[in-house]
Amino acid sequence: MEFVLCYSTEYTFLDYNILTGFILATAALAVSPGPDNIFVLTLSMANGRKYGLAVVAGLMTGCLVHATLLAFGVSEIIKRSDTLFWAIKVFGALYLLYLAFMVFREGSGIELSKGGTTTLKLSELFKKGFWMNVLNPKVTIFFLAFFPGFLFSDTLNTVVQFYVLALLFIVVSSLIFGGIAIAAGSISNYITKTPRVGLFFKWLQIVVFVGIAVYLLIS
């Protein structure tokens, strides 16, 4: 599906199929257990939902830093060379395939460890989530691998497109991570009492990573 916005004599084409695919991929990634959402889950279980939500807010704010670096850095590359941009997409696909392989090598279990009651303030937990995200180079690499393949307009400024994708990523991830924090108790009980859940999420991650990698190569 394509949507056309008209500004005087200029036309901006937005491909909503690409945006929908990006939202679905983001949701699948957010649901799949990883260091961030497992941390939110265990913290909420041990200390209460508001502590988990504080970390979620910090994590999502940190995403804006990576999005800004990506938007201005990659946009400049796109202006300079189509070949370089193609190379970035190939790198992204290879990196996602590597992530899929690493998940395949891991066990299928999901380990949850409840910590003691925290004495940290909500503001300190927000900062912890923020710096966990900003200082993690893997997030930068992941954004570089994930976002460029979902540019959704041939005419709209690429910086604007990257920020739109970042906003969608943050909104979707916040909803899912926030839901995890709020429902921490019941989610943890279900995960620990259902061994097949870990195996399901393991293969969900693999399918998502491989699917995005293939999309990057053929888009």
State how many domains the chain has: 1
Burial 16-40 (b: 16+ CB within 10 A, else e): eebbebbbebbebbbbbbeebbbbb
pLDDT above 90 coverage of the chain, percent: 22
Query: 34: which 2 tokens?
Result: 């990883």
Residue 151 Cα distances to 15, 18, 122, angstroms: 9, 8, 36
Note down the domain range covering 167: 2-108+115-218
CA distance 153 to 13: 6
Nearest to 209 by CA among 29, 33, 34: 29
Higher pLDDT, 116 or 12: 12
CA distance 209 to 103: 10
User: Tens digits of per-residue pLDDT, 60-113?
Assistant: 999 999 889 888 887 777 667 778 778 878 888 888 898 888 878 876 555 655
User: Tens digits of per-residue pLDDT, 202-219?
Assistant: 787 788 888 888 887 886
Chain mean position to CA 179: 15
